[in-house]
Structure 1
Amino acid sequence: MTVTDETNPSTSAAVLILEDGRTFRGRSYGATGTALGEAVFATGMTGYQETITDPSYDRQLVVQTAPHIGNTGVNDEDAESRRIWVAGYIVRDAARRPSNWRSQRSLDEELVAQGVVGIQGVDTRAITRHLREHKTMKAGIFSGGAAARPEQELLAEVRAAAPMEGARLAEEVSVDKAYVVEPNDHGWEGEPKFTIAALDLGIKAMTPHRFAERGVRVHVLPATATLEDVLAVKPDGVFMSNGPGDPATADAQVGLLREVLDARLPFFGICFGNQILGRALGFGTYKLRYGHRGINQPVMDRRTGKVEITSQNHGFAVDAPKDGAVQAPEARFGRVEVSHTSLNDDVVEGLACLDIPAFSVQYHPEAAAGPHDSAYLFDRFIDLMAATKERPGSTDAADVSKATIDAKEEN
């Protein structure tokens, strides 16, 4: 939640108060007023514009661990969505002026224009260490007139804010209407190779771009899409994106995915989509102590032994056994194995179904800004769709659509 006022941000005092009472004082950055949310830290050294426009940061106060922020300004090309989603922004050394040939305005100006309350001049290293030791927690940024209020009042306001556990946010950040991303608009020549239905749970703009440049037509659907909406676009596969909130609240998307898996349509999920696949298969999810957020997260592919440096942004994870292939708790989906794990804390980073065409990863293969170690996953999904179409006895999307809808009506 953000409430802004008209105080001059260049001269305003500001204070960051964590849920446990730890206080950091600095100066206002961006808009002034009050911002409440979950305090988290992001470890990327670059890509701050992509960070703040990632819908997965909805209702979060983001601490940038890189000390110098804003030096390349902001442009209209690098945003990952239609707006800034961070609830508040916490930096150490804010650039006084941008210096980059692509810059169109300063980050400070963009934060003001979009009403995002921030704080600068605080010890972000100390904040990060505190969150690592004590876990992510609710927090508030108060600047302008709000910063002059008694600290106990501000702390009480922080503690009264809604927690991230139980938050249903995918519908909040998703688009209202479907749209199409065409391959020909992204450098592809010729007819599309495949068509996919991509559920927008907080999708980043680079994701459909990565599909389109490989010849895949992408129908981006709202988070509230039904099976009929999915099948109406006659997809060769279904994709579920990253997104914010607690996966335990995503019952509608879990139900939809189970219908997709029953129809044997190829499926690929990332981040929130990985957690939804985990739940669809019958596994649980849980909240991490401080999450994984940044573009330098090491992941092991358990099948090849290859290590990938990945881009991640998640505070929840799938609770699945890591001792090889197991029967999914939802037995009709057959066997599943944990395909990837984090090298930092052994968290599940990927799932691979062995008897149905479905897989997912907990990280971001579109990776804007970088790294690009995991871009092959888009090609893996294309290969999966191709193999499914070529398999003897398989049906095309139109036949799957009719058969699936008829079965639902009979039941």
Structure 2
Amino acid sequence: MINPYKKNAKLVLNNGIVFPGFSFGASGTAVGEIVFNTGMTGYQEVITDPSYYGQILTFTYPEIGNTGINLEDSESDITVKGIIVRNYSSNNSNWRSLKNLNQWLVEKNIIGLYGIDTRALVKVLRSYGSMNGALTSEDKTVESCLKIIYETPKMEGLNLSKEVSTKQEYFWQNTTETDFDIRQKLSEKPNKLKIVAIDFGIKKSILNRLVSHGCEILVLPSSSTLEDVLFNKPDGIFFSNGPGDPSTVTEGIDLARSLIEHGEIPMFGICLGHQIFGLALGGSTYKLPFGHRGLNHPCGNNNQIEITSQNHGFAIDPNSLSKEIVKITHYNLNDNTVAGLEVNNKPIFSVQYHPEAGPGPHDSDYLFKKFVSLMLDRC
């Protein structure tokens, strides 16, 4: 029996599997790559992570929306195309909450689907890999949805970072002070270090953590040239996270290659920035079956293991990297993919995960301190 108080909606996958459910948030149709995130918290940060640009996000945690939406936790103005949940809560309770999730999704024009078995959907994605799909609250047939899906490009070959990168340079001076900042007395900082951050889809929390560690930041577009960067005489250079296929970000790869050859300025890359470093060092990347998206991915080496926050669908092929040029420093301990590297004899390193932990654990925050130390050694 159709419930008259719920509006029907459905998800149609590229392989023809259909998940009927109910609509919330904005109405309409969204088409994109269907991915899943295993985090148990931080849904506002996740939905506004630019690395999800062009994707429809499934939350494996069974109920989303309990703490509502606030002004502080959005990572950017960019959002996912749609979200899929088992249940959503419009009865939110949190001292910072200003509105419920459903209201916010309507304002942001994000289409939502609830009432499906998200466990079954995730099993499909793990078995067949992430794939394009259509999420719709409109009266569309499965056949018409499949037609739209087949006309939508796959993630391989898409340069999405240019879509989300800033168009104009800007300074960032905000900070995020945490309890462990106070314990470590990071407020007792040296003179400000000047960072040039290349924006491939950067998150607010990353910028805040760099400022908290004593940096002032000039954010530049992803299309910036070597001359643009060196003109600002930075103490360090940061390559950010971002969406899409890293092999298509040719301007970023060329910039990284030139800066690595320059070799005198400390450089730190994360996520897409890490993959760009790998490509600039002569390596290659490949698409993972269903990616790494969540807050509890173990990464490390024989000396140290970190629980990390991750959001990516591509990885560096370890066999494509020259041991004479680069050292692999971290592996994802779930599947042994490359999770960190550093350039031999140069102050350049990168990690596949998000050390700012927006959201997630703080195991990797030391990497910002490592970056600062490399800069101080050269000041």
**Is this a same-fold pair by TM over 0.5?**
yes
Whole-angstrom CA distance in 2 between matches of 1:184 and 1:86: 25
Q: Which amino acid aligns with 1:287?
A: K
- The alpha-carbon deviation at position 368 of structure 1 amounts to 1.3
Once the two structures are superposed, the pairs formed by residues 28-43 of structure 1 within 5 Å of their partners are 28-43=23-38
2:146 corresponds to: 155
Whole-angstrom CA distance in 1 between matches of 2:345 and 2:5: 59
1:208 corresponds to: 207
2:116 corresponds to: 122
Which range moved further: 253-262 or 66-75? 253-262
Whole-angstrom CA distance in 1 between matches of 2:311 and 2:344: 27
Q: Which amino acid aligns with 2:261?
A: D
1:291 corresponds to: 291
Q: SS of the residue aligned with 1:321?
A: helix
Residue of structure 2 aligned with 1:181, choices 172, 185, 194: 172
Whole-angstrom CA distance in 2 between matches of 1:24 and 1:380: 46
Q: Does 1:312 align with 2:310?
A: yes
Q: Does 1:106 align with 2:104?
A: no
- The alpha-carbon deviation at position 80 of structure 1 amounts to 0.5
Residue of structure 2 aligned with 1:170, choices 138, 146, 161: 161
- The alpha-carbon deviation at position 185 of structure 1 amounts to 8.9
Change (3 A) 1:192 1:319: same
Structure 2: tracts of 5 or more residues without a match = 178-185
CA contact (8 A) 2:189 2:213 kept: no
The alignment's TM-score, normalised by the length of structure 1, stands at 0.86
How many equivalent pairs are there? Answer: 367
1:244 corresponds to: 243
- The alpha-carbon deviation at position 114 of structure 1 amounts to 1.1
Once the two structures are superposed, the pairs formed by residues 17-28 of structure 1 within 5 Å of their partners are 17-28=12-23
CA contact (8 A) 1:19 1:137 kept: yes
1:404 corresponds to: none
Residue of structure 2 aligned with 1:362, choices 346, 352, 357: 352
Q: Does 1:388 align with 2:378?
A: yes
Runs of 4+ in 1 over 3 A off after TM superposition: 183-193
Measured on the aligned residues, the alpha-carbon RMSD in Å equals 1.9
Change (3 A) 1:358 1:117: same
- The alpha-carbon deviation at position 189 of structure 1 amounts to 6.5
CA contact (8 A) 2:282 2:320 kept: no
Change (3 A) 1:376 1:322: farther
2:323 corresponds to: 326
Offset from partner CA, 1:352-391 (integer Å, 9 cap, x none):
11122110000000001221000000011111112234xx
Whole-angstrom CA distance in 2 between matches of 1:229 and 1:120: 46
- The alpha-carbon deviation at position 235 of structure 1 amounts to 0.3
Whole-angstrom CA distance in 1 between matches of 2:175 and 2:244: 34
Q: Which amino acid aligns with 1:338?
A: I
CA contact (8 A) 2:75 2:203 kept: yes
- The alpha-carbon deviation at position 191 of structure 1 amounts to 6.5
CA contact (8 A) 1:59 1:87 kept: yes
2:56 corresponds to: 61
CA contact (8 A) 1:322 1:338 kept: no
Whole-angstrom CA distance in 1 between matches of 2:274 and 2:190: 30
CA contact (8 A) 1:321 1:338 kept: no
Which range moved further: 150-159 or 38-47? 150-159
Q: SS of the residue aligned with 1:296?
A: strand
2:331 corresponds to: 341
CA contact (8 A) 1:192 1:217 kept: no
Whole-angstrom CA distance in 2 between matches of 1:289 and 1:247: 16
Structure 1: tracts of 5 or more residues without a match = 1-8, 328-334, 390-411
Whole-angstrom CA distance in 1 between matches of 2:228 and 2:165: 15
Q: Which amino acid aligns with 1:308?
A: E
Change (3 A) 1:94 1:258: same
Change (3 A) 1:66 1:321: same
Offset from partner CA, 1:207-226 (integer Å, 9 cap, x none):
11111111111111111111
1:332 corresponds to: none
Whole-angstrom CA distance in 2 between matches of 1:45 and 1:184: 25
Whole-angstrom CA distance in 2 between matches of 1:273 and 1:164: 17
Change (3 A) 1:356 1:279: same
Whole-angstrom CA distance in 1 between matches of 2:342 and 2:188: 32
2:183 corresponds to: none
Q: Does 1:131 align with 2:112?
A: no
Which range moved further: 314-323 or 260-269? 314-323
CA contact (8 A) 1:39 1:60 kept: yes
Q: SS of the residue aligned with 2:76?
A: coil
Q: SS of the residue aligned with 2:33?
A: strand
Q: Which amino acid aligns with 1:366?
A: E
CA contact (8 A) 1:183 1:215 kept: no
Whole-angstrom CA distance in 2 between matches of 1:195 and 1:123: 48
Whole-angstrom CA distance in 1 between matches of 2:334 and 2:194: 36
Q: Does 1:223 align with 2:214?
A: no
